[in-house]
Amino acid sequence: LPTDKLFVGKGFMWTPEHTSMINKLMHNKELLEEGENLGGLAFIHGVGIKDEQNIYVQLPDLVGHSVIIGTTRVGKTRAYEIITVQAIKRKETVIIFDPKGDKELLNRVVESCRQVGRENDFIFFALPYPKFSAHYNPLKNFTLPNEIPDRIAMLLPAGGDSEAFRSFAWQVISVITNAMLYMHIRPTVKSLSAYSLAKTEELCKQCISEAFRRYTFKNDSIVELDRDIDAKIEDYIKLYKKTPEVHHNAIDDLIMLVKHPKEHFQKMIASLTPLLAKLSSGEIGTLLSDRSEDDVNNIDWERVVKNKKVVYVLFGSLLMRDTAKAVIRMAIQDFTSFVGSKYCYMNDKNVINLFIDEFSEVVDSAFINLLNKAGGAGVRIFLASQSVADLESELKTAAKAQQIFDNLNTKLWLRTTDMTTSKVFSDAAGSVSIKQESSGFSVSPDVSTNSEVVFRSSYSQSESEKNVPLIDPSWLLKLPKGQGFLMSSGRVFKVRIPLLQECKTDYYKEVGIEE
């Protein structure tokens, strides 16, 4: 496997001549029946086998991002492995977001790190296995404080009657976030949950005390309040209002929150409470917080990129779907914020390879923002999914799904199971004109009374041009395992994906994870 370019597989560039040949062969009943027995139509690749060679994508083209589409068990993971292994071999930063948990891909990543001397670069985050996992704070990276309530609020129901509750929850998280930042407390899901649901008054007391400490004069009254363990929040607020010199917007907003009618407050955060509890309780809450600022077992994107780490993030959506999906969406927003900072403020030129398996589980409207920003920050995004329908289902509209595919420069389509998915690639490949030959033969009686000829015959042959798809959508439904069509830099290739040597690593067994 090379390090100066990306090897995809063995194949050849597809031309209108190949399209013409396949259109003819599709009428061959014997070949079609043979294909059923082989699990796919091998002659689709056979028409160009004499020109087969290694197919590469140049590394600069990868910042245009890539996607692999294929139904289950047709070679999608094998193709992902080949691309991932090459990124590891190039000694670049590699980040893998795995929503469901692909043990084969995990084992391949671990084994590849060992083969190229990068075993110490490997970091494993596993939401379902906290005892074996690194820690990760999905709220760590942000440029503006409003990003934090945005990430929490996007996890709540929206629209209709839910919108008022979502807006109120956003406001609560915003006030708590600003107060925490005033106290130099880094927000985590666990701390936000505690201060929003149970310790709001305690946070208010701390902020007011801090405001007096920051002011130039020493106030004996606030010192006495701090010493009094039974001091009430009303006493702090009263003293604060009498001293306008110490006023601060974050504290003003927090006081309004504290004085909000309790019964109405509990009603308005009815949807926020279970969400925060789900993400902050038990081992999950600890896992989504930093151990300490310099702990190497914390996942910090800036440090990951600087030290060229290989990070495998397992969300376990099959085991804990709602929790996993919430963390996935926050992680994407956290990474997007980091990418934005890297693009605007950092001089770091290190390449980042981000692999997202089953990306329909990850995608939302904000994901398009990541695709737009990432290329300029040196991020190469690789996506994999089973169908376009999954994507449209998550985004609620085909137009947004198409917008994502329009942002992908390199497309690899393996066998699909629906025409909608196939048509996306076919439309991108475009159409061509092919020559179509037709012939005819006719026999007719000669009714002339003076002729000895009983019948007259005629034969005709003509050639015309017909506009057809370069890659017919139906062909993608009939590909053998491990074969596909690749579009890169405006060219289309027919490729076969080779298998890497058998992976002998069993990471779960090595670290003691029970399945």
Percent of the chain past pLDDT 70, that is, above it, reads 95
Q: Average pLDDT of 222-246? A: 91
pLDDT tens digits, one per residue of 360-401:
878 877 788 888 878 888 899 999 999 888 787 777 777 888
Which of 40-54, 96-110, 213-227 is least confident?
A: 213-227
Closest CA to 421 of 360, 380, 372: 360
Q: Which two tokens stand for residue 504?
A: 């002998």
Task: Give 200-226 pLDDT, tens digit per residue.
Answer: 999 999 999 999 998 876 678 888 898
Looking at the predicted structure, is the pLDDT value of residue 437 above 70? no
The CA–CA distances, whole Å, from 389 to 89, 310, 392, 425, 429 equal 34, 31, 5, 14, 19
Q: Do 45 and 414 form a contact (C-beta atoms < 8 A)?
A: no
The answer on pLDDT for 260 being more than 90 is yes
Stretch 53-77: mean pLDDT: 94
Q: Residue 30: pLDDT above 90?
A: no
Average pLDDT, the chain: 90
DSSP 288: T
Quote the pTM value: 0.90
Residue 450 has pLDDT above 80, yes or no: no
Residue 25's SS3 state is helix
Name which residue leads in pLDDT, 263 or 371.
263
247 — alpha (psi -120 to 50), left (phi > 0) or beta?
beta
Distance CA 246, CA 97 (A): 46
Q: Has residue 485 got a pLDDT over 70?
A: yes
Average pLDDT of the residues in 139-156: 93
Q: HEC states along 391-416?
A: HHHHHCCHHHHHHHHHCCCEEEECCC
**pLDDT for residue 334 is more than 90:** yes
CA-nearest of 418, 430, 497, 359 to 14 is: 430
Please state the length of the chain.
515
Contact partners, residue 480, CB within 8 Å, separation at least 6 = 38, 39, 40, 41, 42, 45, 415
More confident residue, 301 or 451: 301
